[in-house]
Each structure stands twice: as C-alpha cells, then as structure tokens.
Amino acid sequence: MNNPQLNKHGELQHLLSTEGLPAPILRNILDTAASYMSVAEGRDIKKLPLLHGKSIFNIFFENSTRTRTTFEIAAKRLSADVVNLNIGSSSASKGETLLDTVDNLCAMHADMFVVRHSQSGAAHLIAKHVAPEIHVINAGDGRHAHPTQALLDMFTIRHYKKEFHNLRVAIIGDILHSRVARSQIHALTTLGVPEVRVIAPKTLLPSCVDKLGVRVYHDMTQGLRDVDVVMMLRLQNERMQDAVLPSAQEYFKYYGLTQEKLVLAKTDAIVMHPGPMNRGVEIDSSVADGTQSVILPQVTFGIAVRMAVMSTLAGVGQ
C-alpha cells in the first residue's frame, strides 16, 4: 500500500497521521522544532523568512480556538500569509461539499492547507484530491489522528526525558474517541518507547487496542505504577449522554489524575494534557498546576513543532 504522506522520494508530502511515518522523519521534525525554539525565546525578532510569499489556509470544519491559533502563529513566524476559514459557519451549511470548498481555495492559489474536520479520513480525502505541489496538514480528523499534537507531545517528552528507549508511558482516558491518543500511540511506538500503557474503562477503549502495541489497564493504581510520562486525555461531556459513562464524578474518582494517584508514578514523572482541560473531571487542579505538570510548556513547544512541520513540508526545513 502506498503511504499517501510520502512522495516518491520518500519525503514528507502531507502530514496526515503519525501512523506509517519512518522514525527519521519524526526525529527530523523534532530536531527542526528545537532549532526554532530559539526564535521564539531568545530573540527580539521572532520571524524567519522561510515561507515568505506562501499562502497557508487554515480550514476548520470544526471549532477550535487554540489549535487554529497556534497554527496561525507558527505560519506567521515563518513569514507566510495566513487565511483562517471557519467553514462550520459558511460553505458547509450552504451545502457545498468538502472537495468543492477545497477546489475553490486551490483556485485562490493556496500552497498549504491546515485542516480540521469532524470526520475520520477527511484530511486523507483532501490530500488525495489536491495537486501535487499543495501540502495538507491534518489538524484533527474525527477520531482518527491529530499528528501535530502527537509530535509536540513527543517534543515535550524528549525535552524533559532526553531519550525514548528507556521510558514507560501511560495514556489515560477516552482512547476510543480520541484522535490524540491514536497519534500518540503510533508516534511513541515508532520512536522506540518500549512500554506504552493505556488506562481506561472498557467503554472508552477500542476493541483490538492491544494490536496497536500497547498494554491495557483498567485500574489507575496498577497502570500508573513506575511510569515516566503520564498523558491525560480530555473527556467530552457527551460521553455521559451516550451511555458510555455514568457520571463525571465517578469517572474522576476512578480515572481522574490526583496527587494520591500520581505518587505511584516515578518521582520525576511528567504530566501532560492536550487541552482544553476539564479540571475535576480528568485531572485535579493541584496536579494540573503542580510541579510535575508540563501542560503549558506543551503549548509553547506546539508552535515550534508546527513551524517545523510547515517548513519540512515546504522543503525548507533543516
């Protein structure tokens, strides 16, 4: 099967998923992102001219403020022209199909699309459809993938833990409906993390989750034991309406991350969350704001990682 993300030279053409990407490509993005960190931190002038004259369209069929904003900042720091479209409130409601919308934007000479859509596979569909000089970044498709989130998580882990090959990582929460979790699992296993655990009640796990190369736990006190990295997931409120969970209170009691549970992990374990957080549902405030939390640095790293993805796709990265 052809990998739709790579061109015939094996270079990154689109970023649609972390599944099936070779480790060197992932490492290269992380290395490039590290070089951009100094742009954000150490200098007065935050811009690089790498994407000068390029047009990047953020097309969001699903609402998101933060992800869209970080993509926008990343593109602007690379000197690209950025157009934001919230399609949820325009074309789609007028009955225009996804590919018609994309064709119209291509006619406006877009160089790159950043796409978020509620349907799994939407970014793949667009990538298959556009001309070969156009690049597509998946900013989240249904329950399938959110590769830039996973890459910024990998960047965060590498920043604090230096290596991947000696880590024990636990992902906790709604794996079934989470595009973040799927992308994290593929990225962690590709980068050589020897033990990836998922911890969730059975209603929040896909069947065959073990086939993704993870160990399955239903009990936090067992699953958290001696882990180096704790990755929390957001719990959507609608899960209670859908007979998946009885209540947010019971979920917090058994699967929420508290200081009492966190002590089971290694003393230097870091705590991550892709945001936005539900305090008191999946994570206690004392943990979210505690010394082991790296949740805000994740956001900062996210800009550098998205810059790295954009410049790599444009062929002007490291």
Applying CB under 8 A, the residues found at the interface with another protein are 1, 4, 16, 19, 97-99, 117, 119-122, 124-125, 129, 141-145, 179, 182, 206-209, 211-212
User: How many Å apart are CA 54 and CA 57, to the nearest integer?
Assistant: 10
Nearer to another protein, 18 or 312 (CB): 18
CB-count burial class (<10 Å; 0-12, 13-18, 19+) for 295: buried
Task: Judge contact between 172 and 199, C-beta under 8 A.
Answer: yes
Q: How far is the CB of 216 from another protein (least distance, A)?
A: 13
DSSP one-letter string for 178-228: -HHHHHHHHHHHHTT-SEEEEE--GGGS-TTGGGGT-EEES-HHHHTTT-S
Nearer to another protein, 209 or 304 (CB): 209
- Least CB distance from residue 270 to another protein, whole Å? 26
- Report the residue number, 125 or 264, with the smaller CB distance to another protein: 125
Nearest CB to another protein, comparing residues 4 and 297: 4
* Shortest distance, position 19 Cβ to another protein, whole Å: 7
Find out whether 5 and 145 touch, Cβ atoms under 8 Å. no
Check if the beta carbon of residue 191 is closer than 8 Å to that of residue 162.
no
The tokens describing 314, both together, are 């444009």
Q: Kindly state the smallest distance separating residue 263's Cβ from another protein, in Å.
A: 33
Minimum distance from residue 101 beta carbon to another protein (Å): 12
Hey, what are 17's tokens? 């998923």
In the complex with another protein, the residue whose CB is nearer, 104 or 166, is: 104
Query: Rounded distance, CA 277 to CA 49, Å?
Result: 34
- Smallest gap, in angstroms, from Cβ of residue 218 to another protein? 18
Q: How far is the CB of 141 from another protein (least distance, A)?
A: 8
| 194 preceded by a cis bond (ω within 30 of 0) | no
> Which of 142, 290 has the CB closer to another protein?
142
CB of 205 to another protein, least distance (A): 9
Radius of gyration in angstroms for the set of CA atoms belonging to the chain, rounded to a whole number = 19
Nearer to another protein, 145 or 270 (CB): 145
Closer residue to another protein in complex, CB, 16/112: 16
Instruction: Count the residues in the chain.
Output: 318
Q: How far is CA 101 from CA 58, 65, 146, 201, in A?
A: 12, 21, 21, 39
The structure tokens listed for 230 are 């704790």
Contact assessment for residue 159 and residue 135, using Cβ atoms and an 8 Å cutoff: no
